[in-house]
């Protein structure tokens, strides 16, 4: 079992739809990150969570530490939200990131 | 632009050749990570530096791979005798030290390596 698992692998949506991406992680993972990767490779950090909920614009991230589960929500999705969204957990004394396989999101107008 | 730069952005090489990549982190960040991402997969951890000290290496980092961070500033990742399986995106990330809380990592644009 992978230490960080996310679902779904692929997601398509119509513009304006509410989107949810889920992530579960194993014991030993500390802070939980949500990252965005556009074609061409660049990765941008969206959120870092150790508890509760964070919001930035139309993006909301939540984490349930007891259940070891996190979700990323996108409200009023837009075609420019199309990207790969990656969940990653910090681990160990170096806080290296253990990544999920990513969710490819396509939002159509 | 996250402030982390990598050079080159793309590298095409023939099997058996040596290649070297460079990462320039955000200047005040003392922690630096290298990750590798193959097509369709999430990145995987390769190695970690705190200042100039290499404190952790993944088992993925075979003896053909070596990384350095002289003077605790930029870092280099060298792959000797490249193999086709080394074809991947090599990502560098840096973060600031913090005593009280964990800080986010800032990623460079990556170096895409193709081994023919």
pLDDT of B1-45, one tens digit each?
Answer: 889 999 999 999 999 999 999 999 999 899 999 999 998 888 999
Cα A33 from Cα A55, distance rounded (Å)? 13
E strands, B30-73, in order:
31-37, 44-50, 53-57, 65-68
Nearest to A45 among B48, B50, B105 (CB): B105
CA distances from A66 to A33, A51, A73, B50 (A): 17, 10, 20, 31
Q: pLDDT per residue over A51-83, tens digit each?
A: 899 999 999 999 999 999 999 999 999 999 999
Nearest to B56 among A33, A50, A96 (CB): A96
pLDDT of res. B100: 54
How many Cα atoms sit within 13 Å of A9 on the Cβ side? 4
Task: Report residue A77 CA to chain centroid gap.
Answer: 15
Q: Which residues contact A34 (CB under 8 A, 6 or more apart)?
A: A23, A45, A46, A47, A49, A61, A70, A72, A85, A86, A87, A88
Chain B residue nearest residue A40, CA to CA: B109
Q: Residue A50 pLDDT more than 90?
A: no
Q: Which among B10, B26, B43, B93 is the top mutation candidate for probing chain A, defined by the most A β-carbons within 10 Å of its own β-carbon?
A: B43
Burial degree of A51 (CB within 10 A; 0-12, 13-18, 19+): exposed
User: Which chain A residues have a beta carbon less than 8 Å from that of B36?
Assistant: none
Q: Which residues contact A39 (CB under 8 A, 6 or more apart)?
A: none
The mean pLDDT of chain B is 92
pLDDT of res. A39: 81
The mean pLDDT of chain A is 93
B88 Cβ under 8 Å from any chain A Cβ: no
Q: Which residues contact B89 (CB under 8 A, 6 or more apart)?
A: A41, B36, B37, B38, B43, B110, B111, B112, B113
* B35 and B44 Cβ atoms separated by less than 8 Å: yes
* A104 and A9 Cβ atoms separated by less than 8 Å: yes
Cα B108 from Cα B74, distance rounded (Å)? 12
Distance from CA of B46 to the nearest CA of A (A): 9
* A32 and A23 Cβ atoms separated by less than 8 Å: yes
Please answer yes or no on whether B43 and A97 come within 8 Å at the CB atom: yes
* B92 and B6 Cβ atoms separated by less than 8 Å: yes
pLDDT of res. B20: 98
Nearest to A41 among B2, B55, B112 (CB): B112
Q: pLDDT per residue over B35-73, tens digit each?
A: 999 988 889 999 999 999 999 999 988 899 999 999 889
Using 50, 70 and 90 to split pLDDT, how confident is the model at A30?
A: confident
Q: Name the β-bridge partners of A32.
A: A49, A89
Q: Residue B99 pLDDT more than 60?
A: no
Q: What is the mean pLDDT of residues B70-79?
A: 94
Chain A residue nearest residue B112, CA to CA: A41
User: Which chain B residues have a beta carbon less than 8 Å from that of A44?
Assistant: 2, 107
Q: Which of A4, A42, A34, A67 is nearest to B44 (CA)?
A: A4
Please answer yes or no on whether B33 and A99 come within 8 Å at the CB atom: no
């Amino acid at each position: 079992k992978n230490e960080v698992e996310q679902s779904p692998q692929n997601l398509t949506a119509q513009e304006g739809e509410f989107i949810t991406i889920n992530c579960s992680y194993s014991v030993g993972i500390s802070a939980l990150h949500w990252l965005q990767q556009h074609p061409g490779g660049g990765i941008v950090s969206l959120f870092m969570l150790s508890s509760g909920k964070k919001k930035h614009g139309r993006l909301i991230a939540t984490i349930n530490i007891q259940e070891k589960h996190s979700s990323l929500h996108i409200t009023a999705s837009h075609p420019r939200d199309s990207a790969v969204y990656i969940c990653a957990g910090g681990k160990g004394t170096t806080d290296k990131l253990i990544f999920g396989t990513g969710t490819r999101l396509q939002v159509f107008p | 632009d996250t402030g982390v730069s990598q050079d080159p952005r793309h590298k095409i090489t023939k099997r058996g050749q040596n290649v070297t990549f460079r990462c320039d982190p955000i200047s005040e960040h003392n922690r630096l990570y290298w990750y590798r991402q193959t097509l369709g997969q999430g990145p995987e951890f390769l190695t970690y530096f705190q200042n100039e000290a290499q404190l952790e290496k993944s088992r993925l980092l075979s003896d053909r791979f070596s990384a350095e961070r002289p003077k605790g500033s930029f870092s280099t990742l060298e792959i000797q005798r490249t193999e086709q399986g080394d074809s991947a995106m090599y990502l560098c990330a840096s973060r600031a030290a913090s005593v009280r809380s964990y800080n986010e990592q800032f990623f460079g644009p990556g170096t895409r390596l193709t081994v023919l």
